[in-house]
Structure 1
Amino acid sequence: MNQILTVIGALDSENDNIIYDIIKEMFIKIGYRIIYEKQMISLLIYGKSLILMIRLTPDMIDHIYGLGLDIDILLHKSIDTAEYANSHISDMIGNTKYIIMNIDDKEAKYILSDDIDGLVISYGINPKATITASSFDFSNNSRFNLCLQREYRNLHGDKIEPMELPIVLNLMGKSNIYYGLGAIACGLTCGIDIDVIKDALFSIRGMNRYLEKIYDGSYMIVDNRCNLPSDYDLILEEIQNIKYRDGYIVNGIEIDEGIYTVKNNLRIIINWAPILNIRKIYFYMDKEEDLIIDNINLLFERYEIEYEIFLDLRRCLHNSIQGLEDGDLLLLMGGDSLEEGKTILKSLI
């Protein structure tokens, strides 16, 4: 039996490339199964179709270039500005059949050059994108209208006609719209029917601890890994797009973070609290540290935000869900100290 191999490269700066994981999960939902997997690559099979997925981080780009492996579909979300100068990126893209590019990334133009032979498929909120989205509705999932504005031919030579249809993405937050659009563009280019893609995205679970829904019933519990102030700021900005009644936060504080980082994280939470209608914050500390406790008290005594400090995670989580009512949102934010939060909460609910 002759196998057809498609090589998909997901271009990003981070090892935890979210678009890579979402597209892989989409293929699994469609019926593909993983036959080989390492940290940077996954090999999937479905009938005669083989898909090799590669995380194109800077180091991996150099390895792939050295091997002379051609990429069939290159997926771009965003990378650090300095990395656009890597000549191996432009060399690799020059031999790529399809470049699926986030048009809303202002630096994306630097990955393109005049000698590109492949087809560029842009996606994003920009109305000029090949694949765009409009009429957003964010709650416990993301709803939008998908519009493919120009026809093109997929990897098998079949024509994909312009289309417009509603999509329900079982993921929260505006940023996940981009991952959804990238996944749709990739699926269509691979020759997968849009209705099959739509069904897969409706039940997709997404990344562990990235706007992850732990519970979605009368109230909602969401978990997100946060370590730095920028992580807190980014995720709280995402939360403002979600519909809910009152908001509550469980914040995991690790002593090893250091007082400087902890204080900056706390200031981010304080700044967002009135905007997001945060009623109470439950602090969990992995160790008792008087300096951090004193700083929490000093920072919060000036604001009308109720808070409690716990040294036991189970007790902290137990208390945090006791007052939740219909339509409320409980947001878990922290690093390794909240790693067991999902398991504990599922035993409590």
Structure 2
Amino acid sequence: MAAQQETPAQSVVVPFVSGTTPDALKRLGHHEVVERWHAVDRSAHAPHLVAVPAGDGGHWTAAALVTARPHTAYLKIVDAVGDVPAAVAAVVAHARRLERTQVKWEGWTATPEAAAAAGFTPLRPPLTPPDDTAGPATGHVRWLDGAAPAEPPYYGQTTHFTCGAVTALVAQTHAGVLPQGALDRRAELTFWRDATNFPACEPVGLGVAARRAWPSSPVTVHLDTDRPVMLDHLPESEQEWRACLQRMARTDADGTGVPVDPRPLTSAAIRDALGRGEHVLLLVSLAGMQGFDVPHWVLCHGAVPGALVIEDPWADAKKGDTWVDAHLLPVADPSLDTMSAVSPDGFHGAVTLGRPEGEGPGGA
């Protein structure tokens, strides 16, 4: 049975167009499910239907709505209707053809039993609902190469500007430095208040705040420019005092023993850091994944063949993008290298957090 699910006899892939439902999909029923599919504009995430045709070719026995963030290495099943096992098997085969690393399945209608039978494991639900959440309460994941990196907790940032604070807190929770119960909104805002360049967190200030919060954890800032960063969108009068704060952060880094490495972290260097048991807070542009060029912090915490695995503390509910997309998100190495060149002039910023002194690789 498992082998048949891996290699379905036939499937078809057609675009999913908002406001339009193919007749073959209508015949499968589940109109309330299809209505939810049309409730948001998913066009930015390449929505498509993976369907299993009936023997006569004019009908379908099953169909799944599939989406994914651009420039990533996964596919997401929003729902499957009809013969659900056949639909899911068709999506897994489709993902293998596309050389994806992972398939996720949102838990709108999927039962834990159906997901387990299809080879999926449950995702840990978010510790707090992401901002403007419209996501499901549960989700499931299947790694197609057999590798399954250790799963950190998912915490969705509760403001538009605390991504840096959240990535640092999730990293330390994943490393066992912080108890999971300590990861809450108070911790998020407290850490942000110490790290912020108002309102964003720039690399040096974030690294200094991490050193102050966890003095036993080795911290290195990676920033390949000496000029103030992440200020170009502001009026000149607003840039000046924030630039002063960044110069103060450089002085604080010297005083607290936080090195600032002028070499950018490539995907290969990130893999090396992860192999040493470190976590990498990486500054990326959201232009590739979300369509707008805004600097944003994500956490690199795992590696699988061909992709690095990140936690993104933000999801865009207006696009049907949920915590299931943002959690355990694989991004191919070349794509992550492109994302980490932050506009307008392509600077690179990151912070590496090592295990507390005296601990080696392994553990949490």
Bucket of the pairwise TM-score, normalised by the shorter protein: under 0.3
The structure that is strand-richer by fraction is: 1
